[in-house]
Amino acid sequence: MCQKISIFLFCVLIVLSCKKEQPKPNIILISADDLGWSDIGCYGSEVQTPNLDKLGEGGIRFTRFHNTSKCFPLRACLLTGVYAQQNGYSNTHTNPITNAVTLGEVLRTAGYRTLWSGKHHGLENPFTRGFDRYYGLKDGACNYFNPGDQRPGEGAPARKGKPGNKTQRWWCIDSVMYHPYTPEAKDFYTTDYFTNYALGWLDEYKNENKPFFLYLAFNAPHDPLMAWPEDIAKYKGKYDAGYEKIRNQRYQKQLQIGLIDDSYSLSAPTYDNWEDLADSIQNDEIRKMEVYAAMIDRMDQNIGRLLAKLKETKKDENTLILFVSDNGASAEMVHIEDDYGEIGTMTRWSSLGENWANVGNTPFRFYKNFSYEGGINTPLIAWWPGKITPKTFSEFPGHFIDIMATVVDITGATYPAEFNNQKITPMQGVSLLPVLNGEKTSREKPIFWEWRRGKAVYSDSWKIVKEGLEEPWDLYNIEQDPTETKNLANSNPEKVKEMEQLFEEWKSSQIEKNE
């Protein structure tokens, strides 16, 4: 009998020893800057983005995921999982993050190596806020080829500001901050070098017995429009037909690939009539879009380098990749008095402008800075081999505040009530893990927006939105009319009143401290 028990116990021990604990997944969060909803191939574009298309085809593409419509509030809520109105970033990026913790600080509690390369657009050096390594632009926009001072034998790099009073940008390499940062390497280009550092870290820590979190925050394709000549050459003649043809082609492709259906009416265009533009203006507009496409193309090339490195280091099978844009394509225009040279070069600061931004946000209305879908709807790709069913789409209404909740859910990290003797705002988002697992789920929590003149609330398929403090609310049923073409406010005044009350309650409950 004893022998039989011993054999049984031995077998149990063998089984238990074979049941190794599943390693925690690596997580890579990739963000683009001012990228329109239709600006990559798997969301309808003609731009060559084979690596993002691979992730989209191999994973899940969201059609109703949202940002805040502006760079720095979005980046702060992405980083913290709370609204910008709760972490001090609803109106400015010149103060510390308050009442909140970062993804880096939270993931350290789960044993993660935390890495960040790219744009921040905040006051603090990320190296002091939970990230083991940081390389990149602490400010907003910068010159892609040289964010610092003029180098010998080169022209003056275009920078914002008036002659004699140009704005210098802050740059960080781990704990060291540079102002200005003038790279010595003549092959410097932000998109490439953000990736270089990320790949270097993956090599450095490849044998480490801990998972990693990598935040790769590209500044492309935010202005200034600058790209390598060989990338621009790929798009020569691609945009000669003008706004309408490209927009219609994108819309038809979106329908064809199943990204959208007929409920997504193509919103009324806001671009100029191409045939009415002077030849010189047409030529500038064509060139701007060629450069813009080249910037997206180069970003995708670098994502390809990242995917190759994951495979080389045998990390690809246990890595979740999320790709997003921080807001819709931008209609903002920057005018600099003394820049010169051809559009796309280091000495010329050019902006995309309203006309092409309308194309970039196909099929939605408006652009960055607006709380309509063209400003706040972002492409979201989630790729996780063996976990996410390939070639799927999701209409789950999400928001960047959901990233923190999702990461905590996946990793088992601890989200604190207090951090460094400071009370922390509870997570505001919901976990996307059920959606990633293919489960049928709906959103119970409303979503809120407020940026300058724009305000909006989403709840249970309904959305109220307005642009202007004295303007009345528009009302849309987003499930039936996702492109906001049928304003139902006049026929549903009680629904407008009900949702306005939600907004006022949310607004009054915010605890932002901007001292």
Q: Are 291 and 226 in contact (CB under 8 A)?
A: yes
pLDDT of residue 351: 98
pLDDT of residue 164: 83
Tokens for 210, please give them.
Answer: 């801990």
Give the fold, CATH level 3, of 22-439.
Alkaline Phosphatase, subunit A (3.40.720)
| Gap between the Cα atoms of 6 and 375, Å rounded | 67
Q: Please state, for a pLDDT cut of 90, what percent of the chain lies above it.
A: 90
Tokens for 46, please give them.
Answer: 């003609």
Mean pLDDT of the chain: 94
Closest C-alpha to 189, from 153, 160, 224, 215: 224
| Helix, strand, coil fractions of the chain, as percent rounded to 5 | 30, 15, 50
Q: Tell me the whole-structure pTM to 2 decimals.
A: 0.94
- Torsion angles phi and psi, residue 98, rounded to 5: -120, 155
Tokens for 381, please give them.
Answer: 């790709």
Q: CA-CA distances (angstroms) from residue 508 to 86, 292, 502, 503?
A: 11, 41, 10, 9
Divide the 515 residues of the chain into consecutive groups of 10 and give the mean pLDDT of each group: 49 43 92 98 98 98 96 95 94 92 98 98 96 97 97 96 90 97 97 98 96 98 98 98 98 98 97 97 98 98 98 96 97 93 97 98 97 97 97 97 98 95 94 97 95 95 94 97 98 98 93 43
Beta pairing partners, 418: 423
Q: Are 362 and 44 in contact (CB under 8 A)?
A: yes
The three-class DSSP label of residue 214 is: strand
| Gap between the Cα atoms of 244 and 270, Å rounded | 10
pLDDT of residue 4: 52
Query: Which one-letter amino acid corresponds to residue 465?
Result: V
pLDDT tens digits, one per residue of 420-456: 888 999 999 999 999 999 999 999 999 999 999 999 9
Closest C-alpha to 68, from 394, 395, 324, 431: 324
Q: Are 267 and 209 in contact (CB under 8 A)?
A: no
pLDDT of residue 91: 86
Beta pairing partners, 475: 464
Instruction: Return the exposure string of 424-452: e unless at least 16 CB atoms fall within 10 Å of the residue's CB, then b.
Output: bbebbbbbbbebbeeeeeebeebbbbbbb
Q: List strand residue ranges (DSSP E) for 304-408, in order.
A: 319-325, 377-383, 392-394, 398-399
| Gap between the Cα atoms of 131 and 124, Å rounded | 12
pLDDT of residue 22: 78
Q: Are 46 and 250 in contact (CB under 8 A)?
A: yes
